[in-house]
Structure 1
Amino acid sequence: MNRVEKSKEKYKQLFGGTAPAVYATDPDFQDILNGFIFGEVFYQGDLDDKQRELITLVVLTTNQTMPQLKAHIQAALNIGITPVEIKEAVYQCAPYLGFPKTLNAINEINEVFEDKNIALPLESQSQTEDNTRFDHGLAVQMKIFGDTISTMRETAPSNQVHIQDYLSSFCFGDVYTRGGLDLTTRELLTFCILSALGGADSQVKAHVQGNVNVGNDKDTLIAAITHCLPYIGFPRTLNALAAINEVIPEA
């Protein structure tokens, strides 16, 4: 298939046969968009469509582009991503975007789910209690980052230790330990969230190494940031690619 044929097939798979409304006003732009995203980017690298749509969901959440997010929630359901997986991908954004932006995305999800008669709330995916969230979160941190975490905690000034505690208990205890998505997927999504966010270069670099530590290789990271490109643009994509190349030099 050529690029145009690929884009038509992929778009139909994700969204059905309905043409975007923008075709009525900006057909040239929509052709550029469809050809690049659905005819080229979707076929670059070895990610499957489930991984690609989960990445798209978190990047659109980061961007706070809600109309496009709603369309991709529907697309995610169309290709067999479960309601739990959709929710967990967006919950993963909270430590990096904050609660208000994450709640904006959750509201969009809930509207789509209600239209589809998907009963809410979904089954809880929580895996911790108040007395275990710190220990479980710290264990996940150590698995992702190794001894770096011990150094960070030991060298934190006394008036900033609480931030390290929050990282362990909230980010990694409350969120990373949840069911619905495995650790490898959560860490890949985090890399994409931070890359899309911009201004978080040191965290992007840290999570490149974190991805390697949990089993995502360089090709996977390049495929993931390539998939982000149409949604975040070249500058942030190139910044993330530079972090990948610094942490994992070419052989």
Structure 2
Amino acid sequence: MNRIDRSIDKYKQLFGKGIPATHVTDPDLQDILSHFIFGEVFYQGDLDDKERELITLVVLATNQTLPQLKAHVNAALNVGLIPVEIKEAVYQCAPYIGFPKTVNAINEVNEVFKAKGIVLPMESQKTVNEQNRSQKGLATQVEIFGDVIKKMKENAPSNQAHIQEYLSTFCFGDFYTRSGLDLKTRELLTLCIVSALGGAESQVKAHVQGNLNVGNDKERMIDAITHCLPYMGFPRTLNVLTCMNEISPEN
């Protein structure tokens, strides 16, 4: 099957229809888009469609391309993702893109869920409380990044120590410890989020190493970043690959 036929089949699988509306007004652009994303990128590497849709959701949330995000919430359900997984993927964006953008994205998710009769709110995925969120968050940080985290906290200037504490309690305690997605998936999605931000190369490098530490090898990361390419463009994709090659050089 050639890439054009593949793109038509994949588009129908994801969205339940064969021709997007923009094909009427901008057929050349839509053909290039559809054939590249759905005929080539979706078939590059070993990610399954559920993983690809989770990645798409977090990159679209990061970019705040909300109409496309809403379409891909439907696509995510169509390929078998459950509502909790979709919500948790978008929640995972909050420490990196901020709450206003995350809430914008969640509002789009909720519109789709309500239209499909999915009851809200869903069951809480929280696993920490006020007494242990710092301890469990720090333990998760160490699991991902190693003992360097403890040294970073110890060496932080006194007027910046609260930022390190927020990383442990808020980013890793409140979010990474949640159920609904496993640690390897959260860390892979986080790499995609910080990659899509642009200008976050230090964090990209840290999360490349973090992914390696939790069992996502370089090929899996390349597959994920390749899938991000149509949504974040070549400059950011190439920057991420440079960071990845610095942390994990090619033989």
* TM bin (shorter chain): over 0.9
Pairs within 5 Å for 1:99-248:
99-248=99-248
The equivalent of 2:13 in structure 1 is: 13
Q: Is the 8 A contact 2:144 2:210 kept in 1?
A: yes
Q: After the TM superposition, which segments of 4 or more aligned residues of structure 1 sit over 6 Å from their partners?
A: none
Whole-Å separation in 2 of the counterparts to 1:248 and 1:86: 30
Q: Deviations over 1:114-155 (max 9, x none)?
A: 000000000000000000100000000000000110111111
Q: Normalised by the size of structure 1, how large is the TM-score?
A: 0.99
The equivalent of 1:31 in structure 2 is: 31
Matched, 1:69 2:99: no
CA RMSD of aligned residues (A): 0.6
Q: Is the 8 A contact 2:11 2:18 kept in 1?
A: no
Q: Is the 8 A contact 2:192 2:228 kept in 1?
A: yes
Displacement of 1:6 after TM fit? 0.8
Identity, in percent, stands at 72
Residue 39 of structure 1: SS of its match in structure 2? coil
Q: Normalised by the size of structure 2, how large is the TM-score?
A: 0.99
Displacement of 1:19 after TM fit? 2.1
Residue 20 of structure 1: SS of its match in structure 2? coil
Q: Deviations over 1:99-121 (max 9, x none)?
A: 00000000000000000000000
Task: Give unmatched runs, 5+ long, in structure 2.
Answer: none
Matched length: 251
Displacement of 1:28 after TM fit? 0.8
| Counterpart AA for 2:221 | L
Residue 31 of structure 1: SS of its match in structure 2? helix
Q: Is the 8 A contact 2:229 2:237 kept in 1?
A: yes
Whole-Å separation in 2 of the counterparts to 1:28 and 1:121: 42
